[in-house]
Amino acid sequence: MSKDLGIDPSIGHVEPLVGCEIVRQTLYMQNNSAPFNSPVDTSLKGLEDYSQIIKNPMDLGTIKKKIDSGGYEGPDGYSIFAEDIRLVWDNAVLYNGEESEVVLSDVFEQDYERLVVDRVRANQNRIEACKKAKETLKDASAEELKSFQYSDVVYGLYCSEFHKLPTAYKIGALSWICSEFLTLSTIRTYMSSQVEQEMLIHRNHRKRAADLDSRRKHSDRTRRERENAFRRDCANQGIHPNSHNVFSEGIKRRHEFIGKFFEDIQAEKIEDEKNLEQEKKVQAEEMARELSSLVIRESPLGKDRYHNSYYMFKHDTKPRLFIERGDTGDFVVCNSKTQLTEILEWLNPKGVRELDLLTKLQEITTTHSLTRDHSRTKDDDAQLPFLWTTKGDIELQ
């Protein structure tokens, strides 16, 4: 969370010398750093006058030894480190002239600002913010504790245990964890696999439903073939059906075997239909059970003209309508018939998007009873999470 907000995520004191060593290693590994990695060898030809011109020599190797020996310990050690690094470049310019190109100096300044100065500054800001957070948390009635900003939550976690934080801060931390949780690659992979599993379950269900329908058609076809064969046998015996190819009730009374045959056929058909319907019900229950074990991200019922998304969650403890704001992603809850009625009246059926949403919400009013929170008072009802503008537009608080 702290990283996302641009807050130094480290716990405790930030050691600037860690950043100094990283900067030194970065410079040391540059392709053109070889002349600066060790003291200048004045015995080499052409460098005899180096000691006369450069009174205070410095190099990256000497700086490393100084870091290892604790030469930069102290509150201003990182500043002394920077002075020594800059001395390396100054000596190079002094000895080689102004036309000397010391490209490494730019690399140093950028890395030093990023890895040392910025971290020290961020640490100081964090310490000050934590002091302020401690003072705020001491006053349980402070207005600041009734709501939260993520930065306040971060500093609160720095200086206090989670269980000691006010409720608003706990909600803020858990809210961030949930949103961050969904961004993890393992979670996204798992959710993708769950979507694939959902598609597989539906595909298998359609296959089994098609097989069931095929068996029903086969049973019907078999019965029709038996009926046709029976009619031919009756015709051979001089017993003919009417013009509609149906034996009249009078014929069935005169020839009991005909009535018995069709009664058996009808009873068999009813039994087959009963068994097939039972099997269809079992398949539907199995599919519902398999789907309930999946973790699938809910799709909204629809969106309104301001792209606010409307949700009804299957496994909610009580029927409630959740509205996700399109601009901030915040949620408000509609948990009473009054609020739902206001939304239904506000939605414009002339728009395709809102007509679809309106139709689904109207179905909800007939199939679900939105549970009212009986702990709410009349004063609470006066502060519904919906505001209505003079133009009749809805505005979510």
If you average pLDDT over every residue of the chain, what do you get? 77
- For residue 158, give the nearest of 16, 13, 4 by alpha carbon: 13
Total structural domains within the chain: 3
Query: Full-prediction pTM beyond 0.95?
Result: no
pLDDT winner (highest mean) among 4-18, 85-99, 272-286:
272-286
Indicate if 32 and 125 belong to the same structural domain: yes
- For residue 344, give the nearest of 354, 332, 331 by alpha carbon: 354
Q: Is the Cα dihedral 91, 95, 99, 102 positive or negative?
A: negative
Q: 5 falls in which pLDDT band (50, 70, 90)?
A: very low
Lowest mean pLDDT among 18-32, 244-258, 361-375: 361-375
Contact by Cβ (8 Å): 105, 89? yes
Residue 147 domain flag:
no
Position 190 scores a pLDDT of 84
Indicate if 333 and 234 belong to the same structural domain: no
For residues 125-134, average pLDDT: 67
Lowest mean pLDDT among 230-239, 260-269, 279-288, 335-344: 335-344
Q: Does 256 score more than 70 pLDDT?
A: yes
pLDDT digits (tens, 9 = 90+) for 289-337: 888 888 776 788 899 988 999 988 776 777 788 888 888 777 888 877 7
Indicate if 130 and 240 belong to the same structural domain: no
Q: 114 falls in which pLDDT band (50, 70, 90)?
A: low
Indicate if 62 and 88 belong to the same structural domain: yes
At residue 316, the 3 state secondary structure works out as coil
Indicate if 69 and 88 belong to the same structural domain: yes
Contact by Cβ (8 Å): 301, 312? yes
Position 226 scores a pLDDT of 92
Q: Rounded to whole angstroms, how far apart are CA atoms 4 and 1? A: 5
Identify the residue with better confidence: 31 or 244.
244
Contact by Cβ (8 Å): 303, 326? yes
Q: Does 71 score more than 80 pLDDT?
A: yes
Backbone angles phi, psi at 315, to 5 degrees: -100, 25
Indicate if 254 and 311 belong to the same structural domain: no
Indicate if 272 and 326 belong to the same structural domain: no
Q: Does 165 score more than 80 pLDDT?
A: no
Q: Among 240, 266, 292, give the residue marking a domain's end.
A: 292
Identify the residue with better confidence: 135 or 290.
290
For residues 114-142, average pLDDT: 65
Q: 81 falls in which pLDDT band (50, 70, 90)?
A: confident
What are the angstrom distances between the C-alpha of 58 and each of 41, 116, 299, 357? Answer: 12, 21, 65, 74
Residue 146 domain flag:
no
For residues 189-205, average pLDDT: 89
Task: Give the DSSP per-residue string, 267-314.
Answer: HHHHHHHHHHHHHHHHHHHHHHHHHHTS--PPPPSEE-TT--EEE--T
Tell me which residue range forms the domain holding 228: 197-292
Q: Does 75 score more than 80 pLDDT?
A: no
Residue 217 domain flag:
yes
Q: Rounded to whole angstroms, how far apart are CA atoms 90 and 79? A: 16
pLDDT digits (tens, 9 = 90+) for 11-55: 445 566 677 777 777 777 776 677 777 888 777 767 777 777 888
Indicate if 125 and 225 belong to the same structural domain: no
Q: 59 falls in which pLDDT band (50, 70, 90)?
A: confident
Indicate if 39 and 130 belong to the same structural domain: yes
Half-sphere exposure of 314 (CA within 13 A, CB side): 10
Q: 369 falls in which pLDDT band (50, 70, 90)?
A: low
Lowest mean pLDDT among 228-242, 346-360, 371-385: 371-385
Q: 175 falls in which pLDDT band (50, 70, 90)?
A: confident
Residue 5 domain flag:
no
Lowest mean pLDDT among 2-11, 77-86, 248-257: 2-11
User: Which CATH number goes with the domain that contains 99?
Assistant: 1.20.920.10
Q: What is the DSSP letter of 332?
A: E
Q: Does 101 score more than 80 pLDDT?
A: no
The rounded percent of the chain whose pLDDT value lies above 70 is: 71
What are the angstrom distances between the C-alpha of 96 and each of 1, 92, 101, 102, 246? Answer: 49, 6, 9, 10, 117
Residue 64 domain flag:
yes
Q: Rounded to whole angstroms, how far apart are CA atoms 346 and 394? A: 7
Indicate if 354 and 253 belong to the same structural domain: no
Ranges assigned E (strand) in the chain:
302-303, 309-311, 321-324, 331-334, 386-388, 394-396
Q: Among 235, 263, 292, give the residue marking a domain's end.
A: 292
Residue 353 domain flag:
yes
For residues 229-243, average pLDDT: 89
Residue 113 domain flag:
yes
Contact by Cβ (8 Å): 221, 228? no
Q: Among 140, 160, 180, give the residue marking a domain's end.
A: 140
Q: 389 falls in which pLDDT band (50, 70, 90)?
A: very low
Indicate if 121 and 218 belong to the same structural domain: no
